[in-house]
Amino acid sequence: MSTPTNGSPVQNTTRDEWLAKARTLSEALPYMRRYAGRTFVIKYGGHAMGDDHLAELFARDIVLLKQVGINPVVVHGGGPQIGQMLERLKIKSSFVDGLRVTDKETVGVVEMVLAGSINKQIVAAINNAGGRAVGISGKDGGLITARKLRRTQRDPDSNIEKVLDLGFVGEPYRVNPEILNSLAKSDIIPVIAPIGIDEQGETYNINADTAAGAVAAALGATRFFLLTDVAGVLDKNKQLIPRLSLETARGAIADGTASGGMIPKIETCTDAVEQGVDAAVILDGRVPHALLLEIFTEGGAGTMIGRD
């Protein structure tokens, strides 16, 4: 048994295992050189965020990206944690098309959970892994100006569309990347809670996928990673599709290959690419080091959506 510099013992590792690790590092070098100085936006959420071990690995991966010269920007969700807090406070909530109807009382709880406890947990994990993370929300530095999200629903009997009032649920109207561009010049890693403010000063809850895609577009990110609870986009035989063009991604929605919750994720990715992101990737955040596999290996780990 050997002892690393921090004094804690490690299990015996064979020479072949050390060589395999060294080979992996060597193979990653061209990707490190390619992406040095580039910005990656990572949407973090789902079961990966609720698993302590996966959360620790995610934090280490983010620190590694910063260490090799990549500028990671983390945008996180927190739906389950919001639901738990509302239940503790005995505040009832309802959903329309997967979006939480958010009244004045609820939006205060949403902001408290997202910009408070969850945001600071992620910041602490990254700092504990050796990074320097700072937690902000879309309200800080005028980062995300929001507007009320408008949704309609068609009555199946009368065929009349009615406008749904989701309360303080918003969508990004304008993203000002100035604060993020300033942080990119330092060793600080921004961790963003998807809360925005409109031009009248009202606070809005924004879907984390949508907020992350808008931030990626505003930054002209090289990659937008959307961590989910599935392997990526699957074909009709349930096999992973490693790459989609914008056209084939839209076709996957049109022909029913993509369905349910995957549809808005693909739409978020195609919107980001159309607005200037080089490529977007949907991958499984439950897989340890999924980010590193996608970035630093030839095979990747999820579904990449690009212009061609």
For the chain, the domain total comes to: 1
In a domain, 129, yes or no: yes
Which residues lie below 8 Å from residue 180, measured CB to CB, with a gap of 6+? Answer: 73, 143, 190, 215, 219
- The answer to whether position 160 is within a domain reads yes
Containing 47, the helix (H) or strand (E) segment is helix 47-50
Tens-binned pLDDT, residue by residue, of the chain (308 aa)? 444 545 444 556 677 777 766 777 777 777 778 888 899 999 998 777 878 899 999 999 999 999 989 999 999 988 778 778 888 888 877 777 667 777 778 888 888 888 888 999 999 999 999 999 999 999 998 999 999 887 666 556 655 655 566 778 889 999 999 999 988 888 999 999 999 999 999 999 999 999 999 999 999 999 999 998 888 888 888 888 889 989 988 888 888 888 888 888 999 999 999 999 999 999 988 888 888 888 888 767 889 999 87
CATH of the domain at 209: 3.40.1160.10
pLDDT of the residue at 165: 64
In a domain, 28, yes or no: no
CA distances (Å), origin 30, targets 26, 221, 288, 294, 296: 8, 19, 22, 14, 8
pLDDT score of 2: 46
- For residue 214, give its domain range: 38-298
Q: What global pTM score does this model have?
A: 0.86
Residue 15 in any domain: the answer is: no
C-alpha of 289 from chain center: 15
The verdict on residue 305 lying in a domain is no
Q: Answer whether 302's CB lies under 8 Å from 290's CB.
A: yes
